[in-house]
Chains A and B, each alone.
Chain A
């Protein structure tokens, strides 16, 4: 999307009228042109709350969503607070996504209410790089409060949505005040000429972004430095297929 100067100046005017004391809005780009083009500012805004949920079985186990969150958190500066209710997060996997164990402080909270309270404390503090909270329910008022805390401090807040049963995942349709909303679903890995499992692949859906359109992307799971990658056959496709679509696999 080419930036249009008229719309940009209109946006700047609206922000001035809104009058909220904002910090200089810095962003965390993904490094993939297609994704960064969809996000206002060219990246994931720091100082905001983002929601991540898993699709399919990931709504219950939250495995891919956790790695996606870890990939974002590892590229911020400072310690990361990870608030959990179920003790099934495996730290070596986070280390393989680029988040070394020294950087993460885990908080075991008994229920959703305590998780959200701890996330709020972490965001308000301002000395952390990222705060990740695993919750099932997130309503509009709480998300609004967390968004304001994140704006005030400049830390990035990641609400990892995880439910007990897949049927409860319908709750993800409820509106919240998060700046962006993502769903990560697993996809078959890259085909290899030899037996084995190739790079893990995800279907990354940007369900909602403030002042932007939703889109979905097929990406390779984050590597040892937390970065996503474009799958090889899509990156090196012939020039004729300009706007790619998620076609039939293989």
Chain B
């Protein structure tokens, strides 16, 4: 029986579920390999561990061919749900794995959409209920094949047909599993994901006889768990770079909090602070009965001798501030600027990580630069400009301004290595000042004579102080 076929084989006529001999006849030169279920499962586990490290604290293998990830709270750190999914698919495809993905409110719905929806990447709207599921086939519900065949015989083709039926006769005929799978897909029944754990993971758990819910209680227990975890890390000589706090609620739902630091640390106070800052994102519901704290990313911690107070200490260490802010606003929102060797102003700044070593570089050039640069240059209407002179007056955002003083032109050439069109393109920048003292940075696209050098239109690019 064919279990999987690549795109070329499918194009030639082979299908999953077809006998292997038939496939061999249909496709010339077909390469057939034995199915190794154990190796597949191991590969899937490895993929799940990779996703655990990179994406979210709760990841499990959804055998035989997928992963399930609980992305609540994890997507802001990756730039949103779409960005996270796009990045995930891209990374997998650049490793040679073709993948489809879907985000939905429940495991069952996401499983169904990822496999049977028409689009390979789909994000279901929040609170979608059953609207996205009605058109999907019955196999999307994770039912045994015999049950699906029996349902087909009875005339049910799509999930929507089942939803329209009263539940009791179906349960009578097929047993409770059908109702359970439907409720799981709709999100009515919770289906907790058992997160995958690498073997050498350092993890501490705490069960509560009485479920806890108050923020102070959670904070206190987090503090004690961090102490235990750091003791475990110290025994191995490791420092944690990422901590996952998983709260198991009494109603079987799971909440996760993930914090990360740039350099491995074992400092109890710092880790407790990072975790307690995020307590307000935890919804205890009816109560939390188990807290588990794991150091999902741990690296050897080298002991460094700290300078004593007698010696003049160098620049104070801001890495813990950077970590706190990164955990608050996300990794992409914290950066330092560095110069790019280009004349084009809007491309002359690039972002580098905030803790990168000092580059010692700065922008070259004597021409003054405006402190505010518009995201894209705005067109202005100008009056009477001679080729080397700035306009006598211009209108920007509906307000007419007379130019009293001006400086320039500063000629900026295009980046010829980027696009051919920029080979001849130039901009002539002027710093102009009006009656009231407002100073603007305007440019003419082109040198005023040659139409190849630009559109000869004027734009405003920035505001000086």
Contact = CB atoms under 8 A, between A and B. Distances in A.
Contacts of A70: 371
Contacts of A122: 321, 325
Given A105-B322, A108-B329, A94 B371 contact: yes
Interface string A47-90: 00000000011100111111110100000001101000001111
Interface string B331-357: 001111111000001001100001000
A129 B462 CA distance: 28
A126 B318 CA distance: 9
Interface string B220-235: 0000000000000000
A62 B462 CA distance: 12
Contacts of B318: 79, 105, 125, 127-128
Given A56-B436, A107-B333, A63 B370 contact: yes
A197 interface: yes
Given A114-B328, A197-B433, A189 B405 contact: yes
Contacts of A61: 372, 463
B131 interface: no
Contacts of A89: 371-373
Interface stretch (A32-40, A95-103, A230-238): A95-103
Interface in B399-413: 404-407
A200 B406 contact: no
A186 B438 contact: yes
B173 to A, nearest CB: 53
Interface residues of B, number: 52
B317 interface: yes
Interface string B359-372: 11111000011111
B126 to A, nearest CB: 19
B375 interface: yes
A150 to B, nearest CB: 15
Interface string A189-221: 100100111101110000000000000000001
Contacts of A140: none
Task: Name A's interface SS.
Answer: mixed
Nearest to B358: A102
B248 interface: no
Contact of A67 (B361, B371, B373): B371
Interface in B180-234: none
A109 B362 CA distance: 25
Contacts of A90: 345, 349, 369-373, 462
Contact of B328 (A78, A117, A126): A117
Task: Name B's interface SS.
Answer: mixed
B329 A114 contact: yes
B435 A188 contact: yes
Contact of A109 (B333, B338, B372): B333
B338 A66 contact: no
B464 interface: yes
B398 to A, nearest CB: 13
Contacts of A185: 437
A66 B371 contact: yes
A198 B406 CA distance: 9
Contacts of B328: 114, 117-118, 121
B31 interface: no
Determine which residue in B316, B371, B436 has the highest number of CB atoms from chain A within 10 A of its CB, and name it.
B371
Given A88-B374, A197-B433, A93 B329 contact: no
Nearest to A66: B371
A97 B437 CA distance: 19
Contacts of A88: 372-375
A3 B392 CA distance: 52
A66 B431 CA distance: 18
A214 to B, nearest CB: 22
B321 A200 contact: no
B465 A221 contact: yes
B315 interface: yes
B453 interface: no
B296 interface: no
A66 B368 CA distance: 15
Interface string A107-144: 11110001001100110011110000000000000000
Nearest to B338: A101
A200 B439 CA distance: 9
Closest 7 CB pairs of A and B: A127-B316, A64-B465, A91-B337, A90-B373, A93-B371, A67-B465, A108-B333
Interface of B: 315-318, 320-322, 324-325, 328-329, 333-339, 345, 348-349, 354, 358-363, 368-375, 404-407, 431-433, 435-439, 462-465
Interface of A: 56-58, 61-68, 70, 78-79, 81, 87-97, 100-102, 104-110, 114, 117-118, 121-122, 125-128, 184-189, 192, 195-198, 200-202, 221
Given A91-B337, A200-B465, 4 more contacts: A64-B371, A79-B318, A102-B360, A195-B405
